[in-house]
Each structure stands twice: as C-alpha cells, then as structure tokens.
Structure 1
Amino acid sequence: MTDTTDQPRLGEEQDGDRHWRRHGARYRARRRAVDILFEAEARDIDPVAIVEDRVELARLDANGVAPIASYTRDIIAGAAEQLDTIDETIERYLAEDWELNRLPAVDRAILRVGVWEILYNPDVDGATSVVEGVELASQYGSDVAAPYIHAVLDDVVQAGSELNPFGEPVVDADADPEFTPDEPGVDAEPRPSSAADPGPGPTRSPDSPDV
C-alpha cells in the first residue's frame, strides 16, 4: 500500500494558521491520530494498517513520510480495539436528536481520539484531553465542532470521576424518592441534562423529515 491519498493532512500548515507549531509533541501525536482515523474511514481500511504502512514508508527519507510517534501508535491501536465502546460512549452524551454517523468525519475522529484518551489512558488528566480535543476541533473541525465536542468530552470526564466511577447518570433522589432504574415505563438511563446539543444536526438537509 502506498501513500497516494489526496486527502488534506491535518498537520499541513495552512495560510494564516501557523500557530500550531507552538503545540507540544503529544498534541501533534493526537493530530496525526485524527488524520489517520479520518483517512481510514474515508478509504474504508483498517487504521492500524495505515500506521504500519507509514512506519515502513518513513524508513526511507526519499518517501517524504514523517515517522509515526509512539503515542500516535498507542491511540490508533487503542481506538481500533475499543471502537465499539468509544462510539457507544460518544452517542450516550450527544444530544438526543444527533447521531454519531451523521457528524462530519473530522469531528467524529476528534471525538474518538479524545474519548479513547479519557477512558483508556490514565496518564493523561481528563481536563487536558478536553482542552486538546477542543483545540483540534477549533482548528480542523466543522464550524460548530468546538462547543459540542467540548460538551461531550467534558461529560465523559465527569461521568468517570471519583464521585461517579461507573459513569451512571445522576438522578435527583429528592425529585422522586420512589424512582428506581428498574421501574416499568421509566427510562433507566436518562440522558444527562448537560448532553451536548450544538443545534441542528450538521448533515441534516432542509428536506429531511422531522424526527
């Protein structure tokens, strides 16, 4: 497999946007991981295979392929292995009328990198993952990406906090003392009130039927 895709690279410097050079190695590793996940989905191939291909190409300077950082490899391997859990987590904290598969592909890749890091990398503080995800969204995501990506990632961090180690939705016991998750006719997992709601779905067209 050769690196012939025409997709723009997230790491490419854009006119008037040179401040990315100030970011550290881990930010660049996250950005490369987003790029690879985006490409893998667009080409319908395994992201791990892309990493392996890039590693081989990077062995020769003539190929002009930058080496893959070890943290990028960790993200891609982990995200590929835990993709179902990651996607279920994202969907849980999206607004009710939003669907993961209808988000812009870059936004989806940014969310997957951020959620993998929050859930599976205890060496990185959750707040750092949120900030870095929002920064990626601001630079490379859709126009409405940063606010709702911030909300989703922050909800994932809060759900996994020491006060809520199992990520259970918080129920106000004072509001209904008789409430139990198994009560017939009651949603056992109400969507948190802070669930991300960036407005109309990014891929919804004016002709789409109301849900």
Structure 2
Amino acid sequence: MAEAPKQQMPARRKARKRALDVLYEADLRGRPPVEVLAGYIERIEKPRPEHLGYAVSLVEGVAAHLDRIDELIASYAEGWTLERMPVIDRNLARIAVCELLYHDDIDDAVAISEAVELARQMSTDDSPRFLNGILGRIADYASR
C-alpha cells in the first residue's frame, strides 16, 4: 500500500513555529528575544526559507510590544499569572496577541486558530482550550 504524501505545513505556521522556538529559548534563558533571534538566524543554512521574514517580524513585534502584550495576557488570563503558564502557552499567546494587535493582514480567527493548533501539537491537553478562551477575549477587546 502506498504511503500518503506528507501534508506541507503552511509557511506562516512554520514562521510561527520558528518564532515560538526563539521566544521559548529567550524566555527560558532570560535573554532578550532579539538577541536570541540573531543567534538563531546565524545557525540557519543558506538559502534561508522564505517564511523566515515573517518569523523575524513576529519575534521583533513581540519584543517591541512585550510589556503591552504581557499586560493584556495577564489581565485576560482569569486565575493565571504569566509565571504560572507553561512557557509554550505563554509564548504562543504572545505571538497571537502580537498578530491580533499589530498585524492587520492576519485575520483574528486565523491568529487564534494557529495558536490553538500549535498548542495542540506541542503543549498540554488543556492548552488549546485555555489559549482559545484567552485569545478570544483579547480579540473581542482589540476589535472594539
């Protein structure tokens, strides 16, 4: 029986995954995201993937607006502090909030569903529902 062809991960999802890798490392090491990003880019072989530009814009956007993004996440994460959230969830939320607030070319539903899908693949069983709820509330706030 022939094997089914592998599904290609969409370019923007790859970019979000790369941004997550950088933000996760920065968070764990207590380093500025842009500093970790520079080292990350150096390690990528040329030719670099096309989606790298979007990953860079996400990391730079999160870094530039981190205080505002974290303030929103903290205020809408009912019963959770940023410090208590799993590192993956915290950084997926940061990426999605960056897209919700600062990337007009990304539909809110897409930003939320991409974060939820990455959480489903990479985090706890409760993470997709948690992120969907918090990001939905932030999207409602942002669209006012």
Establish whether TM, by shorter chain, passes 0.5.
yes
Higher helix share: 2
Correspondence for 1:81: 64
Q: Equivalents in 1 of 2:17, 2:41: separation in Å?
A: 17
How many correspondences in the alignment?
A: 139
Structure 2, unpaired ranges of 5+: 1-5
**Residue number in structure 2 paired with 1:72:** 55
Runs (4+) off by over 6 Å: none
Q: Is the 8 A contact 2:22 2:40 kept in 1?
A: no
Corresponding letter in the other structure for 2:107: D
The structure whose Rg is larger is 1
Of 148, 151, 173 in structure 1, the residue corresponding to residue 130 of structure 2 is: 148
Write the mapping of 1:105-124 to structure 2, written as runs, cut at 5 A: 105-124=87-106
| Aligned pair partner of 2:141 in 147, 159, 181 | 159
Question: What's 1:34 paired with?
Answer: 20
Structure 1 residue ranges without an equivalent (≥5): 1-18, 165-211
Q: C-alpha offsets along residues 29-68 of structure 1, whole Å, 9 cap, x if unaligned?
A: 001111111111111112211221222233568xxxx657
For normalisation by structure 2, the TM-score amounts to 0.88
Task: Indicate the percent of aligned positions where both proteins have the same amino acid.
Answer: 35
C-alpha distance after superposition, 1:123-155 (max 9, x if no partner)? 101011011011011111222100010011111
Q: Which amino acid aligns with 1:147?
A: R
Please give the alpha-carbon distance, in whole angstroms, between the structure 1 residues aligned to 2:105 and 2:115: 16
User: Which of 103, 111, 117 in structure 1 is aligned with 2:85?
Assistant: 103
TM superposition score normalised by structure 1: 0.61
CA displacement 1:67-124 (0-9 Å, x = unmatched): 57000000000101100000011111111x2111111111111111111110110010
